[in-house]
Amino acid sequence: MDGKERKAARRRERDMRPRRSRPGRLRRLRSAVASVPQNFFLFLALLVVPRLSRAGELRVARAFGWLSSRRLWRYRRRAETNADLALGAGLPEAARREIARRSFDHTALVATDYFWFRRGGPARFEEFCEVGDDTARRWLDGRGPAFFVTAHLGNWELASRLVASRGRRIWSVFKPFGSGAVSRRMQAFREACGQGVIPRDGAMRGVLRALRAGDCVGMVLDQHTDARDGGVYLDFFGLPAGFSSVVGAVAHKLRIPVYVCAMARDEARDRYVFHALREFTAEETAATAPDDITRGIVASLEAMVRRWPEQWLWSYRRWKRWQPGDDPARFPDYAREDPLAPPFRPDAGRIPSANSPPAVSTASVSPSR
């Protein structure tokens, strides 16, 4: 056994150990230290951003995006790596770099929008958010339990708020972010907008409770999920990636519809538009295997990213793991093996399609000036 094999064996052994949390005292100390700058910027943003004009907020977001793309060099490199991996066959390098850079601008706008839409009430929200077509309107005006599934693309927070504004009770799984003050503010804002919040720990019980009560559940499904946490590996831009199987399994069991949607920004008009991308009716989810439902959702997510590439969160570690037996050289440098995943089989996670993948939209991707 050579050095690389020994390192791989130690890594597999480490990944299979039970997860341990840090000692309580150390964790509290680290949280307290990290919360000081976070709370300061939270207070500053709450004080300043909601009072800006829309033009002023856009200028702040562009400055913040420009600064983060240059100072957060690790995230910038990861975004470029992911864009090369996903879009390398269809776009020149300069276009891929521009997509990765502009994703920082858009992420900054999503962050400032969180504060800006806290002021102005429904009038401000209705001025800058609209429904794309009759299918989307039918989804929003419907009744009964349903899954609304999207990705970290456009403004996913406003998508849930739009559903709630149309009179549908919607719940979303909440993972604490940043300091306690930041998490509490985000949770309070969601609840003030008519959204229910389900803690991530024990989320399955909360999801089932909400759906059986006739409510909707919003899911952002483009985050990585390990096999030991119920993830399944499916083809995503030509590489296997771990996705949560919760939506497919629950929709099949309860026979409820699944709506794949996107709250994408129309940059020319400065409007967020709710788009209906794919629908799985209650009859379809009842008759379709859970893994096939998940495959269909993943195919829609990929098409979503290809349509609005600069609005996706490219800096996320999307291809975080590979399956045993797969070639590590195909994956980004941040990826590690998932020792509990089933062995890799070519075409096992492929999504059958008679057509080639849709081309990446470059209509709104041009070098910035």
Q: Where are the domains of the chain?
A: 125-337
- What is the pLDDT confidence band of residue 358, given thresholds at 50, 70 and 90? low
**Interval 51-63 mean pLDDT:** 95
pLDDT at 175 > cutoff 50: yes
- What is the pLDDT confidence band of residue 91, given thresholds at 50, 70 and 90? confident
Query: How far apart (Å, rounded) are the C-alpha atoms in residues 289 and 251?
Result: 10
Backbone torsions φ then ψ of 190, nearest 5 degrees: -60, -45
Tell me, what DSSP letter sits at residue 328?
G
| Inter-residue long-range contacts of 130-137, CB under 8 Å, 24+ positions, other chains counted | 130/271, 130/272, 130/273, 130/274, 131/162, 131/273, 131/274, 132/273, 132/274, 132/275, 132/276, 133/275, 133/276, 135/276, 135/279, 136/261, 136/274, 136/275, 136/276
pLDDT at 13 > cutoff 60: no
User: Which of 178, 46, 155, 70 lies closest to 107, judged by CA?
Assistant: 155
pLDDT at 241 > cutoff 80: yes
- What is the pLDDT confidence band of residue 45, given thresholds at 50, 70 and 90? confident
What is the predicted pLDDT for the residue at 9?
A: 53
- What is the pLDDT confidence band of residue 200, given thresholds at 50, 70 and 90? confident
What Rg, from alpha-carbon coordinates, does the chain have? 21
- What is the pLDDT confidence band of residue 120, given thresholds at 50, 70 and 90? confident
**Interval 306-314 mean pLDDT:** 96
- Give me 193's structure tokens: 């907008």
How many angstroms separate the Cα of 216 from the Cα of each of 137, 246, 311? 15, 14, 25
pLDDT at 31 > cutoff 50: yes
- Give me 26's structure tokens: 């150390």
pLDDT at 146 > cutoff 50: yes
Mean pLDDT, the chain, integer = 85
pLDDT at 113 > cutoff 50: yes
* Cα atoms in the Cβ-side hemisphere of radius 13 Å centred on 113: 22
**Interval 319-331 mean pLDDT:** 94
What is the predicted pLDDT for the residue at 42?
A: 73
Query: How far apart (Å, rounded) are the C-alpha atoms in residues 221 and 318?
Result: 11
What is the predicted pLDDT for the residue at 351?
A: 52
- Give me 173's structure tokens: 């799984």
**Interval 31-52 mean pLDDT:** 71
What is the predicted pLDDT for the residue at 6?
A: 56
How many angstroms separate the Cα of 129 from the Cα of each of 58, 174, 324? 16, 23, 45
pLDDT at 4 > cutoff 90: no
Backbone torsions φ then ψ of 312, nearest 5 degrees: -95, 155
Query: How far apart (Å, rounded) are the C-alpha atoms in residues 307 and 118?
Result: 29
What is the predicted pLDDT for the residue at 369?
A: 38
- The answer to whether residues 157 and 129 touch, using CB atoms and an 8 Å cutoff, is no
What is the predicted pLDDT for the residue at 195?
A: 79
Number of H helices, E strands in the chain: 13, 11
Q: At what angle do helices 93-116 and 54-71 cross, to 10 degrees?
A: 130
Q: Which residue has the higher pLDDT, 203 or 241?
A: 241
pLDDT at 8 > cutoff 70: no
What is the predicted pLDDT for the residue at 312?
A: 97
- What is the pLDDT confidence band of residue 199, given thresholds at 50, 70 and 90? confident
How many angstroms separate the Cα of 100 from the Cα of each of 112, 231, 237, 266, 359? 19, 27, 16, 18, 17
Sequence-ordered list of residues with C-beta below 8 angstroms from that of 322, at least 6 positions apart, any chain: 240, 328, 330, 331, 335, 336, 337, 338, 344
* Cα atoms in the Cβ-side hemisphere of radius 13 Å centred on 341: 29
Q: Which residue has the higher pLDDT, 55 or 9?
A: 55
- What is the pLDDT confidence band of residue 366, given thresholds at 50, 70 and 90? very low
- What is the pLDDT confidence band of residue 16, given thresholds at 50, 70 and 90? very low
Sequence-ordered list of residues with C-beta below 8 angstroms from that of 259, at least 6 positions apart, any chain: 139, 146, 147, 148, 149, 276, 278, 279, 280
